[in-house]
Amino acid sequence: MIHHELIVVGGGLAGLRAAVEARNAGIDVAILSQVWPGRSHSGAAQGGVNAALANHPESADDTWEKHAFDTVKGSDYLADQDAVAQMTKDAIPVIYQLDQWGCPFSRFDNGTIAQRPFGGAGYPRTCYGADKTGHYMLHTMVERAVKAEVPMYVEWFVTRLMVDEGVCRGVVAYDMIKGGFEAFTADAVIMATGGAGRTYSNSTNAIISTGYGMAMAYHAGVPLKDLEFVQFHPTGLLTTNILMTEGARGEGGYLLNGEGERFMQRYAPKAMELAPRDITSRSIQTEINEGRGIDGKGFVYLDLRHLGAEKILEKLPGIRDLAIHFEGVDPIEEPIPIVPSQHYSMGGIDTDMDGATDLAGFYAAGECACVSVHGGNRLGGNSLLETVVFGRRAGAAAAQHIRNSGPSPDMTVLAGRTVAAVEAQVGGLAARGAAGEDPYAVRAEMTTTMKDHFGVFRDAATMHAGLDKMLALKERVGNVGLRHTGGVLNLDMIRTVELEGMVDVALGIAAGALARTESRGSHSRTDYPDRDDTHWLKHTLAHYHPEGPRLGSKPVTLGMFEPQERKY
């Protein structure tokens, strides 16, 4: 049994930022991460991070209020406006702090942090480091955590929360290097495990972005909010769904259909390629569905050729590399074939602005959390921002909670009991062995069901059929068998254990999507094409139940901007 005052699960941007904040407040905090923190999915972020710095010549009168307006409008008015105001205000000092900590942002000639245009924003407001912004920010934060001497348990996979009488007391984790399960007791836990992209087969996300962190909270009784809002990024590579950043369009890239037409003029005549992602993805999908894909097939082109070699090599070198290596296309010479691809989980663990949840001592931040600042649709560049703004706040709030709570009780019995329960669960999987269901077959069916039935466009009949498939998969997941029973580096065990959680999160997405009889943001129903503020200007909450999610709701916090029609 290992004790720290605070355990942070996840070494991405949110987890690192939270840990550094708590450490600097004098808290004994440790990070547990299934990969070396510098390899977290945050490092794959390309395009940039938003803050109303007003450095760009065209954004001299930009303000945090304008950033807040764009965010709320982008969210299709589902974001909580107090949280959005907090984020857009904090954005400015938080970015300057990262700059002072050594994050190598790209610069304008006058030395200020460079900013580029991004989707759904009235101003060029997105700060960037070439097309490797997440990588730069992540490594800056790893350095800060090392400097603050935050202990990191790297290659530890957290399997379960330890909860006693309504209070979170730590986690149980699998030591991937040495084998075996260990209890980590704590006075508070922050979940920062990233998104649930891999519940879809067509995702831009890392293999480890499974949503299992959300599932652990869900199983411990914490509701998940707004799960049905799944962002499809307009431009994933055709064959692998690897992301081609929105920064490519921010730098002037075009979207072309099979007729060589910049079709966005029909859908967003003002914003064109820089309409928000929900609108751009739907426009691409409509072109494809109506037979105007390239050669009538299921993709369109992202064309960067007119930007010229110099600009592509300076501003988008990573995009060029990815296109060459994974699609066999050099964007200097040829247009890039792209399709809308699952990209971001707007929903997640229901938290307040300090990352606090309904479970005492349990916090969440980053993509696994839903504060909510993204509502029905996240603007590009607001997610990296969310990780550092709300990671910092969660770290501070957890530190305060620890200072306010009395001495920790003896957790030996609880720790022993929870480890035994995890060992029994894995023992059960191993006992079934190869005679049990193949977890990889179940996973593949789940991810294609989500892609085919809960995609860019949705309707009741397609979703009902998908929900039936998901409920059948839920049955099967109870019978999966563990093939490999070795103690050390047992990735088979990790993939098998997390599958049940993934199916539960996917079922939450499905149930929320069927229940929400309107179209808002990324949730676009052909049978309910209009936004319905009378009935649905509210968050959905999914509560875990062994037979499937139980849905409730929660009001949206307005205050700054009244809902309007969205035009771009």
| Chain positions contacting ligand FAD, by CB under 6 A | 9-15, 32-35, 37, 40-42, 44-49, 133-134, 157-158, 192-195, 204-205, 208-209, 212-213, 243, 245, 344, 366-368, 380-384, 387
Rounded Cα distance between 95 and 428, Å, is 48
For 7, 85, 361, 494, the CA distances from 357, given in Å and listed in that order, are: 16, 20, 8, 26
Let me know if 491 is exposed, middle or buried by CB neighbors in 10 A (0-12, 13-18, 19+). Answer: exposed
Minimum gap (Å) between residue 247 Cβ and ligand FAD = 7
Return the number of the residue (12 or 455) whose C-beta is nearest ligand FAD: 12
Residue 235, Cα to own-chain centre: how many angstroms? 17
Q: Which is nearer to ligand FAD, 307 or 371 (CB)?
A: 371
| Joined tokens for residue 58 | 């065209």
Of 294, 297, 305, 296, give the one whose Cα is nearest residue 257.
294
Contacts of 407 (CB under 8 A, 6+ apart): none
Closest by alpha carbon to 33, among 14, 49, 48?
14
What 3-state class would DSSP assign to 2? strand
Beta carbons within 8 Å of 568's beta carbon, 6+ residues apart: 120, 268, 270, 271, 275, 276, 279
**Considering beta carbons, is residue 54 or 161 the nearer one to ligand FAD?**
161
The DSSP output letter for 101 is: T
3-class secondary structure, 231: strand
Q: How many CB atoms lie within 10 A of CB 514?
A: 18
12 close to 387: Cβ distance less than 8 angstroms: yes
Cα angle value 15/159/38 (rounded, 5°): 35
> Would you say 343 or 539 has its CB closer to ligand FAD?
343
- Identify the three-state secondary structure at position 444: helix
Name the catalytic one among 233, 401, 520, 525. 233
**How many C-beta neighbours within 10 Å does residue 457 have?**
14
Judged by beta carbon, residue 231 or residue 449, the one nearer ligand FAD is 231
Min. distance of Cβ 515 from ligand FAD in angstroms? 25
Q: Whole-angstrom Cα distance, residue 320 to residue 311?
A: 11
Residue 375: CB atoms within 10 Å:
28
Catalytic residue (choose from 23, 67, 144, 249): 249
For the bound state, the minimum distance from the C-beta of residue 387 to ligand FAD, rounded and expressed in Å, comes to: 5
CB of 304 vs ligand FAD, minimal distance in Å: 17
Burial of 290 (0-12, 13-18, 19+ CB in 10 A): exposed
125 vs 531 by CB, closer to ligand FAD: 125
Cβ proximity to ligand FAD, 157 vs 544, nearer residue? 157
Locate 254 and state its tokens: 């075009």
Which two tokens mark 66?
A: 């304008």
CB 172 to ligand FAD: min, Å: 10
Residues near 562 by beta carbon (within 8 Å), at least 6 away in sequence: none
Is 249 catalytic? The answer is: yes
Q: Which CB, 13 or 83, lies closer to ligand FAD?
A: 13
Burial 148-157 (b: 16+ CB within 10 A, else e): eebebbbbbb
Min dist CB 535 to ligand FAD, Å, is 30
Q: What letters, b where the CB count within 10 A reaches 16 and e where it falls short, cover 554-563? A: eebbeeebee
Residues comprising the chain, all counted = 568
Nearer to ligand FAD, 133 or 280 (CB): 133
Q: Is 233 a catalytic residue?
A: yes
For the bound state, the minimum distance from the C-beta of residue 261 to ligand FAD, rounded and expressed in Å, comes to 28
Question: What's the min distance (Å) between Cβ of 128 and ligand FAD?
Answer: 8
Question: Considering the complex, what minimum distance in angstroms separates the CB of residue 14 from ligand FAD?
Answer: 3
Beta carbons of 414 and 164 less than 8 angstroms apart: yes
Q: Which is nearer to ligand FAD, 257 or 490 (CB)?
A: 490
- Closest contact distance (angstroms) between CB of 325 and ligand FAD is 15
- Active-site residue numbers? 233, 249
